[in-house]
């Protein structure tokens, strides 16, 4: 028997308001044609003032708890991956804890931008396997619309808001179910290629997203293909063993190019970028929840998650559902 972190449930939440490319084209100098051709994005959800990173996270968490058949009181660890917390502090995870009515537990945020969910599940996996908790809520939640420069067409068309959550449970298993391996990376020398030009300790303001898109694109394909290769090698498997890839949803061209590098057919890649745009740390758990709920991802499937974002940071995980 082996103690592993098992995927016990998934959930997600999207803001009420959905915005099309055509609607954006009325605000900035862009077009549906350009956005679809360069990114694959057609829609994104934008949070209303009453919808925040913490409220979206709590809504996604409630769904994940229900799917796992658990109560908030069963949870011993809450991690929220976000770059857009409700407040500079406290951690959004403690706000989620309060919104769920969960009693005393471990709660903190992880800041690794778009790869935050991968960082969070890797940390949770270690903590669950060393006995810190029995059940953990891992949430990626973002309101990126609040840090976009709505005059900058090179960034504002790319992002959206939302949240995705999973419950991971520590279980003794006789088979290969659960998280089998995770790999994380960071290369801080590229921190100026994708960043927010404000912060509490510098400008005292929240700031806006700035990105050298073409450079990020180039690094993303190389790094994601490499980390997927690493994580599969860790468990002695190859691309042909994968049932589903749930990639970070930044750009359909990045997803296609990465899959091609690995020799993965498009039918095994979960794609939501057309509906959600890039929701940063929320994108992987949002896509995972969608594919679990529509029946594509089933018990026994080998699933690979990957993401890359500001820092640069990137990572991958392989799990048997
Ligand atoms: O989640 C974190 C990771 N982030 C990413 O992975 C994003 C990575 N980067 C990308 O996805 C792509 O680089 C972009 C979608 C951001 C841009 O696509 P691209 O094919 O690399 O375009 P580009 O930046 O080379 O720009 C091409 C042209 C430029 O015009 P000129 O200089 O060729 O005349 C831009 O000004 O497209 C122009 N452009 C636009 N045109 C219409 C840039 N944004 C827009 C726009 N609408 N929204």
**Å from CA of 31 to ligand 1 middle:** 12
Mean pLDDT for the stretch of residues 34-45? 98
Span 58-76, mean pLDDT?
98
The per-residue pLDDT of the chain, averaged, comes to 98
pLDDT of res. 174:
96
pTM > 0.85: yes or no:
yes
The predicted pLDDT at position 36 comes to 98
Per-residue pLDDT, 83: 98
What burial class does residue 259 get, using C-beta atoms within 10 Å of its C-beta: 0-12 exposed, 13-18 middle, 19+ buried?
buried
Task: Please provide residue 167's backbone torsions phi and psi, each rounded to the nearest 5 degrees.
Answer: -105, 125
Instruction: State if residue 153 touches ligand 1 by the CB under 6 angstroms criterion.
Output: yes
Q: Look at residue 220 in the predicted model and tell me its pLDDT.
A: 97
Ligand 1 pocket member 6 (CB < 6 A)? no
Domain range for 273 is 178-320
The pLDDT of residue 52 is 98
| Pair 146, 201 in one domain | no
Mean pLDDT throughout 22-41? Answer: 98
Do 52 and 166 belong to one domain?
A: yes
240 & 112 share domain: no
Q: Domain boundary at 120, 139, 173, which?
A: 173
Burial class (CB within 10 angstroms; exposed 0-12, middle 13-18, buried 19+) of 41:
buried
| pLDDT in the model for residue 207 | 98
Ligand 1 within 6 A of 250 CB? yes
pLDDT the model gives residue 309:
97
Q: What is the pLDDT of residues 160-175, one digit of tens each?
A: 999 999 999 999 999 9
Q: Tens of pLDDT along 147-162?
A: 999 999 999 999 999 9
Asked whether residue 130 falls in the same domain as residue 199, the answer is no
Q: Measuring CA to CA, which residue among 55, 303, 281, 74 is closest to residue 168?
A: 74
- 41, 213, 279: residue to mutate for ligand 1 pocket, most atoms within 8 A of CB: 213
The verdict on the CB of residue 222 being under 6 Å from ligand 1 is no
Residue-wise pLDDT tens digits, 244-263: 999 999 999 999 999 999 99
Which of the four pLDDT bands, split at 50, 70 and 90, describes residue 62? very high
Compute the distance from residue 56 Cα to the ligand 1 centre, in Å. Answer: 29
135, 150, 173 - which closes a domain: 173
Q: Which position among 156, 248, 251, 276 bears the catalytic label?
A: 248
278 is catalytic: yes
If you measure from the C-alpha of residue 297 to the centroid of ligand 1, how many angstroms do you get, rounded to a whole number? 32
The residue among 140, 156, 173 that closes a domain is 173
Q: Which residues pair with 142 in a beta bridge?
A: 162
Q: Is 251 a residue of the active site?
A: no
Confidence at residue 267, expressed as pLDDT on a 0 to 100 scale: 95
Mark whether 197 and 121 lie in a shared domain: no
Q: Encode pLDDT of 93-128 as tens digits.
A: 999 999 999 999 999 999 999 999 999 999 999 999
User: In terms of domains, do 274 and 159 share one?
Assistant: no
- Residue 164 shares a structural domain with residue 209: no
Percent of the chain with pLDDT over 70: 100
Which CATH number belongs to the domain containing residue 234 in this structure?
3.40.47.10
Verify whether residue 276 is a known catalytic residue. Answer: no
Whether residues 151 and 17 fall in one domain: yes
Evaluate: CB of 43 within 6 angstroms of ligand 1.
no
162 in the same domain as 13: yes
15 and 115 inside one domain: yes
Same domain, yes or no: 214 and 119: no
Distance 166 CA to ligand 1 centre (A): 32
Indicate the number of domains in the chain: 2
Place of tokens 């992002």: 159
Which parts of the chain are beta strand (E)?
2-13, 17-20, 43-46, 77-81, 106-110, 135-143, 161-173, 178-186, 194-196, 209-211, 244-247, 302-309, 313-320
Stated length of the chain: 321
> Are residues 246 and 225 located together in one domain of the fold?
yes
Q: Which atom of ligand 1 is nearest to the CA of 155?
A: 16
């Amino acid at each position: 028997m082996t103690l592993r972190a098992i995927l016990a449930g998934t959930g997600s939440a999207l803001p009420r308001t959905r915005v099309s490319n055509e609607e954006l084209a009325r605000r900035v100098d862009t077009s549906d044609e350009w956005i679809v051709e360069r990114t694959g994005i057609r829609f994104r959800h934008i949070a209303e003032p009453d919808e925040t990173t913490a409220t979206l996270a709590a809504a996604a968490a409630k769904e994940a708890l229900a799917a796992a058949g658990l109560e908030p009181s069963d949870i011993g660890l809450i991690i929220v991956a976000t770059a857009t917390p409700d407040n500079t502090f406290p951690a959004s995870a403690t706000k989620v804890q309060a919104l769920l009515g969960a009693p005393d537990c471990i709660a903190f945020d992880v800041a690794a931008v778009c790869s935050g969910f991968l960082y969070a599940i890797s940390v949770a996996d270690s903590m669950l396997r060393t006995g810190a908790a029995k059940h953990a809520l891992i949430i990626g939640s973002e309101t990126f619309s609040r840090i976009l420069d709505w005059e900058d067409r090179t960034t504002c068309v790319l992002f959206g808001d939302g949240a995705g959550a999973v419950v991971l449970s520590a279980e003794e298993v006789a088979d290969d179910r659960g998280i089998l391996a995770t790999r994380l990376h960071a290369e801080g020398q590229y921190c100026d290629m994708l960043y927010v030009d404000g912060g509490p300790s510098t400008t005292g303001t929240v700031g806006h997203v700035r990105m050298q898109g073409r450079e990020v694109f180039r690094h993303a394909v190389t790094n994601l293909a490499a980390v997927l290769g690493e994580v599969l090698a860790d468990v002695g498997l190859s691309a042909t063993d994968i049932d589903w890839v749930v990639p970070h949803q930044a750009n359909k061209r990045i997803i296609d190019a990465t899959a091609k590098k690995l020799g993965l057919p498009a039918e095994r890649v979960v794609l939501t970028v057309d509906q959600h745009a890039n929701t940063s740390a929320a994108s992987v758990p949002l896509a995972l929840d969608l594919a679990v709920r529509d029946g594509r991802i089933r018990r026994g499937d080998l699933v690979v998650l990957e993401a890359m974002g500001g820092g640069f940071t990137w990572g991958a995980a392989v799990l048997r559902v």
